[in-house]
Amino acid sequence: MGIEKHIQVTGKSTVSWKDAIVQTVEEVSKTINFVTSIKILEQRAKITVNKITEYYVDLDITFMVEQKNS
């Protein structure tokens, strides 16, 4: 039986929302094994002098729980 676990994380980029998503998934994958999917919960941006300077994404990351054989 497979068990999934979910965590919520926030990532950011100075390039784009897509870059924020890609960078966040890459960073999460360094410490969490078996990442299977993401759900974009929210996107927002910081504006400075009428220009977007930072892109933020809130993600729901799904990964499989590693099961130990007894």
The tens-digit pLDDT sequence of the chain (70 residues) is 689 999 999 999 999 999 999 999 999 999 999 999 999 999 999 999 999 999 999 999 999 987 777 5
Q: For residue 44, give both structure tokens.
A: 């927002």
Q: For residue 19, give both structure tokens.
A: 């870059």
What are the residue ranges spanned by the domains of the chain?
A: 4-64
Rounded distance between C-alpha atoms, residue 4 and residue 36, angstroms:
9
The model's pTM is: 0.86
H or E segment and range at residue 57: strand 51-64
Strand partners, 13: 55
4-64 placed in CATH 3.30.559.10: no
